[in-house]
């Protein structure tokens, strides 16, 4: 069931119940109070007439020698009627006096009384109840008049039809108000429900458009209430979804590029190997040609080997958690310098090392791999001088490798850490390069919580640096 | 779509049911309450007093001055008065009328008031007993007055020319207020000295005070018991130029 319908139904039930209950209580309360007041008025009227009768009886007894109560009362009431003392003749009140055997002594009631005295106990009691007389409501009050050991019954009736009519009028008015209020309520509830559910419908439509691929869809936040909060949260969610989709798209594209480049890098040496092997197999070649062909096969084979080793390293780096340990930086650099000495000596490259003593947190093998790759790159760039600097800058230890090689142009720098990317493919292949060295180094730097920074001038050289936090070992002595 | 239409129809019908159901239920409940009220029989108990035997004396009850002052304050306030049957200890109607007649007879025979009042043939004598306590819900079960001293009998002796109204305390039987009006030339109060009336009225209550009274030709008043209560007497002239009305009463001066 739609929210609109639920709100509508609930409002109708509440409104109807509230109106009905309040109407009932108001009318009932007012009606009861009116009846109580009219009953009191009737009681007063009864008592008034009783006092009049009793006074007159006492008077008559003093003045005459009449003793019969019925005769006394009959004379008293006739006398009163003549003097219009009781309002007996105006039709508003009725009076009846009768003996114990319900024999009427005096009565102004329009018809025979339809109740039995014996049904009521009026000994030391005054009874009152509401009765219908000729279609009108009266409060009848019944009591006993005792005088000189004799007793008669006095019954009075006071018209209270106006109270009944008033109540009927109130009910009619209430009915009118009830239905008008319900009608207005229906209109207001419909308007309110529509306004309340409109933002939710907009939200639903926006969610549908996002599901269709329009990830930039956002809602306008127009209020500070719960709906406004929901809209804000919806926008945040949409933004997060858009970012994730973007990241996933990029990751998928990178994977695609990686696979494509990898396939390409694999294909090239294999093509040469197959070609030269086929040539050796198919044709009788001279020793010289055979040696040349074998040399190509060896060359490409070595390149494939380097490629597979580096690929393995990349895969391993992606899958392992590494535990870093505090090591003296200067000793680490010394070890690297020792490994590179033969290579650098062969290439007749001048190597300078200035390393400040300090402790850094590294994985020994990985960090060595990083530095070796960077220096290897510097060698492949055709450098004649390579420097390895380790210095303290504020709270960090900065390692820089600078060369005077061919340098890298500004538009290439952003891509040099991509897997398989080579600035100069021909030069790289000549040196058995696979385009994975800087990708590896970048990954290692990431594992150590840092990144590689490249400053390069084509034709002049390149400086590659990274910063690591200084550790508690401080400066080693 | 078809389901939506069915649901909308069901909802609309249910709403109509709620709206009209509420209306009919309210009406039904009101009708039931109405029938209940119409059929209810209420009864009020009272202690009926047997006729007083002629010559039988009542036990005299007296009130303190403070009590009298408090009762008078209530009698002269705007509190609603209701008729009621005599409570335990209160005068019957016959006793009240007898007390009124006796008092009037005494005052007239001793020339405090004109004898001509007694000679008037009163065509109407009636007495009404009023309760000045607040009335609880009617019908009320046995609710004797919290204090029967707060009720009073209003006894009226009337003929064409003279009207005598007396307020009698229903418990003590004392006459606490008298109002006599006459349109007859034969019955007037020209020769009545208000000061004499005050003195006699004072004696009737057994009051005494050394305070200086206020005295004028047609007005006199005096306070008693440290200004707690007082007696006021005044007479008024009618159109004929004679003093046709006299009033005297106990008053609360506190």
- Contact residues for A399 (Cβ-Cβ < 8 A; gap 6+): A329, A333, A371, A388, A389, A390, A465, A466, A467, A468
Q: Which residue of B has its CA nearest to A52?
A: B126
- Reference A439, options A421, A423, A427; nearest CA is A421
CB–CB of A374/A441 below 8 Å? yes
| Closest-CA residue to B198 (of B167, B221, B177) | B221
Distance CA A351, CA A345 (A): 9
In this structure, chain B runs to a length of: 254
**A80 and A172 Cβ atoms separated by less than 8 Å:** no
Chain B residue numbers touching A83 (CB-CB < 8 A): 124
Among the partner-chain residues B23, B34, B127, the one whose CB lies closest to the CB of A51 is B127
Confidence category of residue A188, pLDDT binned at 50, 70, 90: very high
CATH of the domain at A445: 3.30.565.10
Instruction: Tell me which residue range forms the domain holding A46.
Output: 3-168
A63 pLDDT above the threshold of 50 = yes
pLDDT band of B134, cuts 50, 70, 90:
low
* Helix A3-63 × helix B2-39 angle, to 10°: 10
Chain A residue numbers touching B51 (CB-CB < 8 A): 146-149
Q: Confidence class of residue B141 from pLDDT cuts 50, 70 and 90?
A: very low
Query: Is B93 in contact with A51 (Cβ distance < 8 A)?
Result: yes
Within 10 A of B209 (CB to CB), how many other CB atoms are there?
16
Of B26, B42, B46, the CB nearest to A128: B42
Q: Taking CB atoms and an 8 Å cutoff, what residues of chain B touch A158?
A: none
Mutate to test the interface with A, among B4, B19, B45 (most CBs of A within 10 A): B19
- Mean pLDDT, all residues of chain A: 83
* Contact residues, chain B, for A150 at CB < 8 Å: none
Q: Which residues of A touch B23 (CB under 8 A)?
A: 20, 175, 178-179
Instruction: Determine the residue among B9, B13, B18 to mutate to test chain A binding: the one whose Cβ has the most chain A Cβ atoms within 10 Å.
Output: B18
The shortest C-alpha distance from A98 to chain B (Å) reads 19
Distance from C-alpha of A269 to C-alpha of A440, rounded to nearest angstrom: 21
* Residue B198, H or E segment: helix B194-205
- Among A87-96, A138-147, A158-167, A450-459, which is the least confidently predicted range? A87-96
Check if B1 contacts A (Cβ < 8 Å). no
Domain boundary residue, one of A168, A183, A206 = A168
Contact, B15 vs B23, CB < 8 A?
no
In eight-state DSSP terms, residue A118 is: G
What pLDDT is recorded for position B54? 47
Of A54, A124, A125, Cβ closest to residue B93: A54
Partners of A153 in beta bridges: A98, A144
Average pLDDT over residues B194-209: 86
Could you read off the pLDDT of A328-363 as tens digits, one per residue? 998 888 888 877 777 787 778 899 999 999 999 998
- Vertex A58, ends A53 and A60: CA angle to 5°? 90
Find, among A121, A112, A116, the residue nearest to A144 by Cα: A121
Q: Does the predicted TM-score (pTM) go above 0.95? A: no
Contact (CB<8Å) B22/A17: yes
Mean pLDDT of A67-92: 66
Contact across the interface for A20 and B22, Cβ inside 8 Å: yes
Position B139 pLDDT exceeds 50: no
CA distance B40 to A127: 10
Q: Are A122 and A155 in contact (CB under 8 A)?
A: no
CATH at A29: 3.30.450
Query: Helix axis angle, A287-319 relative to A437-447, nearest 10°?
Result: 20
Tokens (6 digits) for B40? 């209810």
pLDDT number for residue B44:
81
- Neighbour count for residue B201 (Cβ, 10 Å): 22
Which pair of tokens denotes residue A78? 């006739």
What lies within 8 Å, CB to CB, of B193 at 6+ separation is none
Beta strands in chain B (DSSP E): 41-45, 82-83, 124-131, 152-158, 162-169, 175-182, 214-215, 219-224, 229-237, 243-252
Among A168, A202, A227, residue at a domain's last position: A168
Under an 8 A CB cutoff, do A40 and B82 touch? yes
Please name the residue of chain B whose CA is at the shortest distance from the CA of residue A144. B48
Q: Give me the pLDDT at residue B140, please.
A: 44
Whether A29 has a pLDDT exceeding 50, the answer reads yes
Tokens of B185: 């030339």
Residues in chain A with CB shorter than 8 Å from the CB of B5 are none
Domain ranges of chain B: 1-40, 65-252
Q: Could you give the CA distance from residue A11 to residue A182 in angstroms, rounded to a whole number?
A: 10
Coil, strand, or helix at residue B110?
Answer: coil
- The answer to whether A252 touches A411, Cβ cutoff 8 Å, is no
pLDDT value of residue B192: 84
For residues B150 and B131, the answer to whether their CB atoms sit within 8 Å is yes
pLDDT at A217 over 80: yes
Contact B128 A31 (CB under 8 A): no
* Measured distance CA(A238)–CA(A235) in Å, rounded: 5
Task: List, in sequence order, every residue forming a beta bridge with B242; answer none if it has no partner.
Answer: none
State how far residue A131 is from chain B, nearest Cα, in angstroms.
Answer: 7
pLDDT at A132: 86
Provide the pLDDT confidence category of residue B166 given band limits of 50, 70 and 90. Answer: very high
What total number of domains does chain A contain? 2
User: Quick check: A72 and A66 in contact, CB under 8 A?
Assistant: yes
pLDDT band at A316 (very low <50, low <70, confident <90, very high): low
Residue B144 CB neighbours (<10 A) = 15
CA distance linking residue A445 with residue A451, whole number of Å: 5
Give the closest-approach CA distance of B51 to chain A in angstroms. 6
With a cut of 80, say whether residue A424 has pLDDT above it.
no
Residue B51 neighbours by CB under 8 Å, 6+ apart: A146, A147, A148, A149, B92, B94
User: B27 and A171 in contact by Cβ < 8 A?
Assistant: yes
Residue B44's contacts (CB-CB under 8 Å, 6 or more residues apart) are: A43, A125, A126, A128, B138, B139, B140, B141
Q: Which of A125-129, A142-146, A310-314, B127-131 has the lowest mean pLDDT?
A: A310-314
Distance in Å, alpha carbon of A60 to nearest chain B alpha carbon: 10
Helix A3-63 / helix A69-82 crossing angle, nearest 10 deg: 110
Burial class (CB in 10 A: 0-12, 13-18, 19+), B134: exposed
* Span B71-99, average pLDDT: 86
Q: Is B31's pLDDT higher than 80?
A: yes
The pLDDT, as a whole number, for residue B7 is: 85
Q: Has residue A429 got a pLDDT over 70?
A: no
Q: Do B23 and A178 touch (CB under 8 A)?
A: yes
The model's confidence at residue B55, banded by pLDDT at 50, 70 and 90, is very low
Q: Are strands A385-393 and A396-403 parallel, antiparallel or unpaired?
A: antiparallel
Q: Checking DSSP bridges between strand B229-237 and strand B219-224, what pairing results, if any?
A: antiparallel
- Partner A contacted by B135 (CB < 8 A): yes
Residue A264 has pLDDT above 80, yes or no: no
Find the range with the poorest average confidence among A74-88, A203-217, A401-415, B191-205. A74-88
Q: How far apart are CA B231 and CA B206, in angstroms?
A: 12
In the structure, what pLDDT confidence band is assigned to residue B225 with cuts at 50, 70 and 90?
Answer: confident
Q: Does B28 touch chain A (CB under 8 A)?
A: no
- Determine the pLDDT at residue A5: 82
Contacts of A174 in chain B (CB under 8 A): 26
Q: How many contacts (CB atoms, under 8 Å) link A and B?
A: 135
Nearest to B138 among A31, A39, A83 (CB): A39
Average pLDDT over residues B18-26: 91
Domain membership of residue A405 (yes or no) is yes
Q: Which of A452-456, B133-137, B246-250 has the lowest mean pLDDT?
A: B133-137
Residue A476 has pLDDT above 60, yes or no: no
Q: Are B18 and A12 inside 8 Å of each other by CB?
A: yes
Which of A145, A168, A191 is the last residue in one of the domains?
A168
Query: What 3-state class would DSSP assign to A207?
Result: helix
Residue-averaged pLDDT of chain B: 82
- In Å, what is the CA distance from A390 to each residue of A331, A399, B83? 11, 5, 118
**What pLDDT score does A399 carry?**
94
Percentage of chain B exceeding pLDDT 90: 20
Q: What's residue B30's pLDDT?
A: 92
Which chain B residue's Cα is nearest to A18?
B22
Q: Does B59 touch chain A (CB under 8 A)?
A: no
Mean pLDDT for A178-192 is 92
Q: Which residues in chain A are contacts of B22 at CB distance < 8 A?
A: 16-17, 19-20, 178
pLDDT band at A391 (very low <50, low <70, confident <90, very high): very high
Measure the N-to-C terminal CA separation of chain A; round to a whole number of Å.
Answer: 79
| pLDDT over 50 (residue A89) | no
- Cβ B84–A47 below 8 Å, yes or no? yes
> Considering Cα of A231, then A233, then A239, then A245, what sign does the dihedral take?
negative
How does residue B185 score in pLDDT terms, banded at 50, 70 and 90? confident
More confident residue, A253 or A64: A253
């Amino acid at each position: 069931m739609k929210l609109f319908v639920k709100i509508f139904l609930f409002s109708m039930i509440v409104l109807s119940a509230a109106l009905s209950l309040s109407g009932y209580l108001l009318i009932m309360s007012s009606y009861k109070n009116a009846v109580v007041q009219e009953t009191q008025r009737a009681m007063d009227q009864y008592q008034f007439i009783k006092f009049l009768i009793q006074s007159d009886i006492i008077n008559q007894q003093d003045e005459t020698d009449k003793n019969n109560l019925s005769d006394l009362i009959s004379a008293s009431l006739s006398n009163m009627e003549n003097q219009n003392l009781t309002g007996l003749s105006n039709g508003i009140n009725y009076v009846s006096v009768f003996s114990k055997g319900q024999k009427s002594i005096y009565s102004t009631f329009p018809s025979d009384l339809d109740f039995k005295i014996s049904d009521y106990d009026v000994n030391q009691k005054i009874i009152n109840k509401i009765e219908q007389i000729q279609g009108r409501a009266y409060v009848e009050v019944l009591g006993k008049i005792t005088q000189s050991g004799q007793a008669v019954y006095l019954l009075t009736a006071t018209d209270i039809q106006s109270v009944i009519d008033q109540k009927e009028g109130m009910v009619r008015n209430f009915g009118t108000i009830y239905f008008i209020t319900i009608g207005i309520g229906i209109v207001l509830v419909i308007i309110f429900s529509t306004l309340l559910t409109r933002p939710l419908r907009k939200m639903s439509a926006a969610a549908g458009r996002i599901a269709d691929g329009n990830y930039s869809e956002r809602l306008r936040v127009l209020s500070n209430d719960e709906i406004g909060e929901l809209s804000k949260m919806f926008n945040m969610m949409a933004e997060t979804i858009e970012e994730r989709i973007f990241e996933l798209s990029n990751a998928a594209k990178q994977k695609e590029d990686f696979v494509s480049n990898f396939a390409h890098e694999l294909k090239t040496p294999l093509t040469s190997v197959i070609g030269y092997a086929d040539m050796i197999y198919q044709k009788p070649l001279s020793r010289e040609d055979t040696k040349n062909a074998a040399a190509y096969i060896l060359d490409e084979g070595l390149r494939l080997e380097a490629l597979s080793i580096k690929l393995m390293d990349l895969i391993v780096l992606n899958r392992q958690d590494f535990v870093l340990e505090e090591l003296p930086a200067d000793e680490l650099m010394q070890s690297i310098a020792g490994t590179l000495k033969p290579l650098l000596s062969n290439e007749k490259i001048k190597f300078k090392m200035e390393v400040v003593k300090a402790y850094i947190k590294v994985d020994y093998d990985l960090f060595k791999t990083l530095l070796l790759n960077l220096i290897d790159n510097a060698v492949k760039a055709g450098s004649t001088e390579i420097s390895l600097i380790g210095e303290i800058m504020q709270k960090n230890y900065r390692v820089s490798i600078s060369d005077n090689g061919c340098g890298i142009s500004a538009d290439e720098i952003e891509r040099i850490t991509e897997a398989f990317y080579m600035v100069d493919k021909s030069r790289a292949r000549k040196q058995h390069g696979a385009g994975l060295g800087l990708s590896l180094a970048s990954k290692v730097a990431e594992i150590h919580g840092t990144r590689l920074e490249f400053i390069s001038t084509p034709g002049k050289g390149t400086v590659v640096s990274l910063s690591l936090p200084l550790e508690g070992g401080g400066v080693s002595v | 779509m078809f389901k939506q239409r069915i649901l909308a129809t069901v909802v609309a019908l249910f709403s109509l049911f709620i709206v009209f159901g509420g209306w009919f239920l309210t009406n039904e409940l009101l009708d039931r309450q109405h029938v209940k009220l119409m059929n209810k029989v209420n009864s009020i108990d009272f202690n009926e007093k047997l006729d007083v035997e002629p010559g039988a004396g009542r036990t005299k009850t007296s009130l303190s001055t403070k009590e009298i002052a408090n009762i008078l304050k209530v009698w002269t306030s705007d509190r609603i008065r209701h008729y009621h049957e005599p409570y335990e200890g209160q005068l019957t109607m016959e006793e009240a009328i007898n007390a009124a007649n006796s008092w009037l007879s005494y005052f007239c025979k001793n020339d405090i008031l004109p004898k001509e009042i007694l000679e008037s043939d009163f065509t109407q004598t009636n007495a009404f007993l009023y309760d000045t306590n607040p009335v609880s819900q009617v019908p009320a079960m046995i609710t004797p007055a919290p204090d029967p001293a707060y009720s009073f009998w209003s006894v009226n002796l009337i003929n064409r020319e003279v009207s005598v109204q007396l307020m009698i305390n229903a418990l003590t039987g004392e006459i606490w207020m008298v109002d006599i009006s006459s349109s007859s030339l034969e019955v007037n109060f020209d020769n009545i000295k208000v000061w004499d009336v005050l003195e006699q009225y004072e004696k009737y209550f057994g009051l005494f005070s050394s305070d200086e009274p206020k005295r004028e030709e047609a007005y006199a008043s005096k306070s008693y018991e440290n200004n707690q209560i007082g007696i006021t007497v005044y007479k008024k002239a009618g159109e004929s130029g004679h003093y046709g009305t006299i009033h005297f009463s106990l008053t609360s001066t506190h």
